[in-house]
Structure 1
Amino acid sequence: MRTIRLNKEIEVFIAGIGAAQSFLMAFYSFYERKKDFRNFLLSLFFISITLRLAKSILWVYLDSTPLWLVNFGFTAHSISGPVLFLYTLYFLFPKKWHALNLLHFVPSFFLLFFISSLSLNNFWYSGGYSILLFQQVVYSILSLILLGLRFLSNKHQSPMDRTSIVWITTLVFATALLQFLYFSNYILGLTPYLLGPIAYLPFIYFLAFLLFKNPSLLKHEISKKHQNIRLTEKELNESAKHLEYLMQDKKLYLDPECTLNRVAKQAKLPAYLVSHIVNNTIGKSFPDFLNGYRIEEAKRKLLHPNYRNTKIASIAYDCGFNTLSSFNIAFKKFVRTTPTKFQKSNVTI
């Protein structure tokens, strides 16, 4: 009969929560898979992490885990590194999928083929598990290198918005930490077995928060129209300056009905090109690009003596917002405080 050990039970519970959330992320990404192959890679990554964490939990909780289940968990582990590397590659450097990428999964196909016969003593404990852990650390390092290359070469690449940077950086670092802790447990003997799944928990919930708040992370703007853009970097920068000039000079943002199509019409550019320039050259989403000007206008009015007795709602509507709630949300996002607190802390009596 199993004697309940509180520490172990808590560890298993925490790791289980992480596995469950990872599964939800896999399902959500898989639902969006048809919009871009990167979403399928992301779904495959999260499901592989889910299976790996589930294997770890069963290994600790059950006295005897079936051999095929152990092998299945290790197979999922072998998939997680390559699929994260490929997702990071195509997220940071958008291009078409190449069939040769399947070569990364040759070890996983091997493990899957022999799933019912690979034993612990004659394979995993005889070097197989060590090779698997080294493989994952190598893929984690390669993913980190991709991050470094992308941001070091930012001058030659289209800039990414802040949310995308936080998303991919968190994903890569969290997975690298998970892989290293598994490595540290078995190879170095420094950390507990379930420390990896436990450390992964806050990261997976933060990633879930980012994804559910910013579903556009799964809506990659790599349509055929965007792929056919043939403008040079200089031309894109000039168009970006023209868009900013239109906003500052024409004050298009003051129109509550200002949309991407209206801005494109004023700029005499196709809407898809304006979207591309705002997202990739200016480095913002179109709503943030638009609301940024509106919030700056609101800040000026909040601090101007002529508007001291004007209701904040009136200022919000004058600056192009349709509702007070949308104004408050945008203001707090850009200024990190509420309009009322901003006005009180900056206006001298």
Structure 2
Amino acid sequence: MNKDTLILVLSCLGIAQALFLVVYLLTLKKRNRKANLFLALTILGLTIRIGKSVLNVYLDLESWQRNLGLSGILLTGPALLFYGRALLLSKKEFLPKDAFHFLPFILFAALAIVIPNDGNPISYVIYILVFSHLAFYTLLSFGLLIRNKTEIRKPLGNWYRNLVIGTAFIWVFYMGNLAGLFSFYIGGALFFSLLIYVFSFLFLQKHAFQLGKYTSSTLDKSTSKELMQTLKKLFFEEEIYLDSSLSLESVSKRLNVSPRKLSQAINENEEKNFSDFVVSHRIEKAKVLLVDPKYRREKIIAIAYDCGFGNVTSFNLAFKAKTKYTPTQFRNEFGTA
């Protein structure tokens, strides 16, 4: 397989993966469907543009076909902005007047056959204007993050920021290519393929499938922090985590909040689920008891029960995962005779 064939295969794989994500998002009925739609349009817009780049290298495209590919850029910018609004500011409605943001894309695609794209000066001006449109919306997207940074949940903000940065890099590549800084034109398609697979990995590993988990929640960032502080105070003052029957439902009842909101507060502020949060406190308590001279002769199993663990096996596994020591090793290493 020669270099050109390899580049073609990698580029086509990226486009195929992108189209898969678009179809998946458009058919996903759970969680924030509005955000899913705008994310699908963002990816579709980039895919149209990148697909044109790949075809333009290997085929002799007509000017209207090149214009259709270029129109994808006019779709990407508004979709990226409104994806951010739907994801980060879920209460903000998409109004009928907002549809005008997509009018340049519709008109450009509809008039593709008459818009010049044959390498003359007017064609270059149009090309620059189209990418200026993307630059404008990319800046608006960054502005959305900056203006609302105190209200945006960290996982959502990080995900959207990375998406905007990836889009900005694609813009830089194509503008750099136009300016003669990058001569490897198909490199944009290769970078897009890499970007799509990175995003796909994040989808499958952690972020995107869970990004909308709390999108419809009424718990804002400041209230989430206050709830977390109240929970920590309860754990510190009453050590309720020592109760082996402790559950998310019982704690949420104590705090007079729903289990979902309590789970959200822990997830957003500690980046843990409820079980991991409780276990971490139990391990810290166990570390104190293991080095306490008063507990020197206490059996490990007794300390495990005293710290809220149901059995010594789960205690040993959790303790070693957290500290890299078994309880016995920890006591021998750090305890006093």
TM-score by length of 1: 0.74
Kindly tell me: are residues 296 and 130 of structure 1, through their superposed partners in 2, closer, same or farther at Cα, counting changes over 3 Å?
same
**Which residue is 2:283 aligned to?**
298
Q: Unaligned 5+ residue runs, structure 2?
A: none
Q: Are positions 1:189 and 2:180 aligned together?
A: yes
**Corresponding residue to 1:93 among 86, 89, 92:** 89
**TM-superposed deviation, 1:270:** 3.5
**Which residue is 1:76 aligned to?**
72
Q: Are positions 1:240 and 2:228 aligned together?
A: yes
**After the TM superposition, which residues 10-89 of structure 1 pair with which residues of structure 2 at under 5 Å, given as runs?**
10-33=6-29, 35-36=31-32, 37-62=34-59, 64-89=60-85
C-alpha separation between the residues in 2 aligned to 1:29 and 1:69? 26
**TM-superposed deviation, 1:126:** 4.9
Kindly tell me: are residues 201 and 255 of structure 1, through their superposed partners in 2, closer, same or farther at Cα, counting changes over 3 Å?
farther
RMSD of equivalent CA atoms: 3.9
**Which residue is 1:288 aligned to?**
273
**Corresponding residue to 1:221 among 215, 231, 255:** 215
**Which residue is 2:143 aligned to?**
145
Alignment length (residue pairs): 318
CA contact (8 A) 1:177 1:196 kept: no
CA contact (8 A) 1:25 1:43 kept: yes
C-alpha separation between the residues in 2 aligned to 1:54 and 1:142? 26
C-alpha separation between the residues in 2 aligned to 1:78 and 1:213? 31
SS in 1 for 2:273: helix
Greater Cα offset, 27-36 or 80-89 = 27-36
C-alpha separation between the residues in 2 aligned to 1:270 and 1:43? 32
Q: Are positions 1:106 and 2:103 aligned together?
A: yes
Kindly tell me: are residues 68 and 216 of structure 1, through their superposed partners in 2, closer, same or farther at Cα, counting changes over 3 Å?
same
C-alpha separation between the residues in 2 aligned to 1:169 and 1:24? 22
Once the two structures are superposed, residues 107-150 of structure 1 have per-residue CA deviations (whole angstroms, 9 ceiling, x without a partner) of 10101222344342279725221211111122222222323333
C-alpha separation between the residues in 1 aligned to 2:105 and 2:57? 24
**TM-superposed deviation, 1:79:** 0.5
**Which residue is 1:268 aligned to?**
256
C-alpha separation between the residues in 2 aligned to 1:10 and 1:126? 30
Kindly tell me: are residues 271 and 141 of structure 1, through their superposed partners in 2, closer, same or farther at Cα, counting changes over 3 Å?
same
The residue type equivalent to 1:217 in the other structure is: L
Kindly tell me: are residues 278 and 348 of structure 1, through their superposed partners in 2, closer, same or farther at Cα, counting changes over 3 Å?
closer
CA contact (8 A) 1:26 1:44 kept: yes
**TM-superposed deviation, 1:66:** 4.3
Kindly tell me: are residues 52 and 146 of structure 1, through their superposed partners in 2, closer, same or farther at Cα, counting changes over 3 Å?
same
Larger Rg: 2
C-alpha separation between the residues in 1 aligned to 2:128 and 2:169? 17
**TM-superposed deviation, 1:310:** 5.1
Kindly tell me: are residues 190 and 251 of structure 1, through their superposed partners in 2, closer, same or farther at Cα, counting changes over 3 Å?
same
Kindly tell me: are residues 289 and 309 of structure 1, through their superposed partners in 2, closer, same or farther at Cα, counting changes over 3 Å?
same
SS in 1 for 2:125: helix
Kindly tell me: are residues 124 and 242 of structure 1, through their superposed partners in 2, closer, same or farther at Cα, counting changes over 3 Å?
same
CA contact (8 A) 2:18 2:43 kept: yes
The residue type equivalent to 1:83 in the other structure is: A
CA contact (8 A) 1:20 1:50 kept: no
The residue type equivalent to 2:249 in the other structure is: N
TM-score by length of 2: 0.76
Greater Cα offset, 208-217 or 110-119 = 110-119
Kindly tell me: are residues 197 and 205 of structure 1, through their superposed partners in 2, closer, same or farther at Cα, counting changes over 3 Å?
same
C-alpha separation between the residues in 1 aligned to 2:100 and 2:297? 65
Q: Are positions 1:164 and 2:149 aligned together?
A: no
SS in 1 for 2:156: helix
The residue type equivalent to 2:202 in the other structure is: L
CA contact (8 A) 2:241 2:278 kept: yes
Percentage of matched positions with identical amino acids:
23
Q: Unaligned 5+ residue runs, structure 1?
A: none
CA contact (8 A) 1:29 1:39 kept: yes
**Which residue is 1:211 aligned to?**
203
The residue type equivalent to 1:196 in the other structure is: G
C-alpha separation between the residues in 2 aligned to 1:11 and 1:232? 45
Kindly tell me: are residues 88 and 297 of structure 1, through their superposed partners in 2, closer, same or farther at Cα, counting changes over 3 Å?
same
**TM-superposed deviation, 1:54:** 1.4
